[in-house]
């Protein structure tokens, strides 16, 4: 068991800067040949010292000692740039000395252009939102065998999925291992209360609404989970020969932007009204009672939409909000559902297709179909999580950047 070293953890009171000092950004200006000066807050530089007392290269991580009694009023006493070594040298008021490679500083420069570059190229690719009418233009096919054998095809698929929220994989074999093989190429499958792979087909007495032949209106999968699966994959093994079983898809983040612009009050209501999502039942031997309470539209700290929750069958009859919030929510939701339909697209997958989409962003569904003994629709589903997809994308990107660099062996 991990034994905490009490001496290390005995935090002395931090020395805090005075209220006037706290308002000062106190920037260290670093000249850089042929480029604009770089700027770094002094406290950030002190926190990110690269010496062996402050940083452990083998784990690529910061050591915590400085934070045992953080002096937020620490100041630069002297700074210089060693042009031969290409390093910034700093002496600090707490007696410490630091050196920072200029190349390392360039990647972390606080300029707006550099922050944007980092977010777009390293954090996550910028999402491009679409309406149903644009769908044909952004629709791109990927081929199963290429994804399994070729890293650059894999990278293109995951990048397209991150940017547009949907990608269609073609020519997968009609066997039960396809989703596992694809998931393993990304990292690993996400298990849920319905197991790892799940079969969507009409089942008499089904315990889940999706397992009926009835129309399945636009929804996100599993809104009743706090940690809902990020990417849904649906592999068509057999398609209904009846006119139904048509896929419906809409970019709900696009719908959110329409609402933000044109229906600002309904937008606010859908962002601020918590809704109870629920799934109660059993699958095999597992009995479950899942509830998650969250709005339909979920925004991040910068006001960007990061998650949609929506499923008519899986919205609980419990609605744990004050009564005066109920009717406005229904009014707002009617607008959202109407817009989602207006901006949706439809197509029908054929056996061997794997439809992959962002389950935080897109709403999906299918039209009803007729199933008989001779005409059986069978879709196999599975999930992977976005953390795993983004991680894989960054690893693929670094590997392709290294292999294409002129210095690579």
Site residues, Zn ion (CB under 5 A): 49, 51, 53-54, 221
Count of Cβ atoms closer than 10 Å to residue 385 Cβ: 19
* Least distance to Zn ion, CB of residue 55, Å: 7
What's the CA gap between 126 and 124, in Å, rounded?
A: 6
Query: Alpha helix (H) ranges present in 165-251?
Result: 178-186
* Least distance to ligand OGA, CB of residue 212, Å: 10
What's the CA gap between 275 and 272, in Å, rounded?
A: 9
**CA dist 235 → 125, 152, 171, 200 (Å):** 26, 22, 11, 10
Q: Which position among 251, 366, 371, 380 is part of the footprint of ligand OGA (CB under 6 A)?
A: 366
Give the footprint of ligand OGA on residues 204-223 (CB under 6 A).
Answer: 210, 216, 221
Do residues 386 and 230 touch, judged by C-beta distance below 8 A? yes
* Least distance to ligand OGA, CB of residue 314, Å: 10
Q: Which residues pair with 15 in a beta bridge?
A: 71
**CA dist 233 → 47, 89, 127, 183, 377 (Å):** 42, 51, 19, 9, 16
* Least distance to ligand OGA, CB of residue 54, Å: 49
Residue 200 within binding range of ligand OGA, rule CB under 6 A: yes
49 binds, among Zn ion, ligand OGA, none (CB under 5 to 8 A by kind): Zn ion
Nearer to Zn ion, 51 or 280 (CB): 51
Size of the site for ligand OGA (CB under 6 A): 10
Do residues 71 and 18 touch, judged by C-beta distance below 8 A? no
Nearer to ligand OGA, 98 or 183 (CB): 183
Residue 379 within binding range of ligand OGA, rule CB under 6 A: yes
- Closest residue by Cα to residue 181 from 154, 155, 163, 156: 154
Nearer to ligand OGA, 100 or 198 (CB): 198
Give the footprint of ligand OGA on residues 228-257 (CB under 6 A).
Answer: 234, 247
Which residues are near ligand OGA by CB under 6 A? 200, 210, 216, 221, 234, 247, 364, 366, 379, 381
């Amino acid at each position: 068991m991990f034994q905490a070293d009490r001496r290390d953890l005995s935090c002395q009171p931090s020395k805090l800067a005075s209220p006037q000092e706290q308002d000062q950004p106190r920037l260290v200006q670093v000249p850089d040949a042929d480029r604009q000066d770089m700027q770094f807050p002094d406290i950030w530089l002190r926190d990110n010292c690269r010496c062996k007392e402050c940083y452990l290269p083998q784990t690529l991580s910061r050591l915590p000692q400085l934070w045992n009694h953080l002096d937020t009023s620490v100041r630069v006493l002297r700074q210089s740039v060693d042009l031969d070594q290409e390093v910034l040298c700093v002496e600090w008021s707490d007696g410490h000395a630091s050196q920072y490679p200029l190349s390392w500083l360039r990647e972390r420069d606080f300029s707006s252009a550099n922050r944007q570059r980092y977010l777009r190229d390293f954090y996550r690719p910028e999402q491009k939102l679409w309406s149903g009418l644009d769908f044909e233009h952004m629709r791109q096919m990927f081929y199963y065998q290429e994804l399994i054998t070729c890293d650059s095809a894999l990278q293109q698929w995951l990048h397209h999925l991150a940017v547009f929220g949907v990608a269609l994989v073609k020519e997968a074999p009609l066997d039960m291992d396809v989703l596992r093989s694809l998931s393993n190429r990304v990292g690993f499958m996400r298990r849920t209360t319905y197991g790892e792979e799940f079969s969507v087909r009409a089942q008499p007495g089904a315990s889940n609404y999706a397992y009926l032949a009835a129309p399945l209106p636009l929804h996100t999968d599993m809104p009743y989970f706090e940690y809902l699966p990020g990417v849904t994959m649906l592999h068509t093994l057999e398609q209904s020969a009846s006119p139904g079983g048509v896929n419906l898809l809409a970019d709900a983040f696009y719908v959110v932007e329409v609402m933000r612009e044109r229906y600002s009050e309904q937008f606010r209501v859908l962002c601020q009204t918590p809704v109870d999502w629920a799934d109660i039942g059993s699958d095999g031997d597992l009995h479950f009672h899942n509830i998650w309470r969250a709005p339909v539209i979920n925004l991040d700290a910068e006001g960007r939409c990061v998650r949609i929750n929506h499923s008519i069958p899986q919205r609980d009859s419990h609605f744990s909000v004050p009564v005066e919030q109920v009717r406005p929510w229904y009014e707002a939701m009617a607008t959202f559902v109407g817009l989602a339909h207006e901006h949706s697209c439809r197509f029908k997958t054929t056996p061997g297709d794997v439809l992959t989409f962002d389950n935080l962003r897109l709403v999906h569904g299918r039209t009803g179909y007729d199933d008989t003994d001779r005409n059986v629709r069978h879709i196999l589903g599975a999930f992977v999580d976005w953390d795993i997809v983004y991680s894989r994308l960054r690893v693929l990107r670094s590997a392709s950047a290294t292999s294409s660099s002129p210095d690579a062996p």
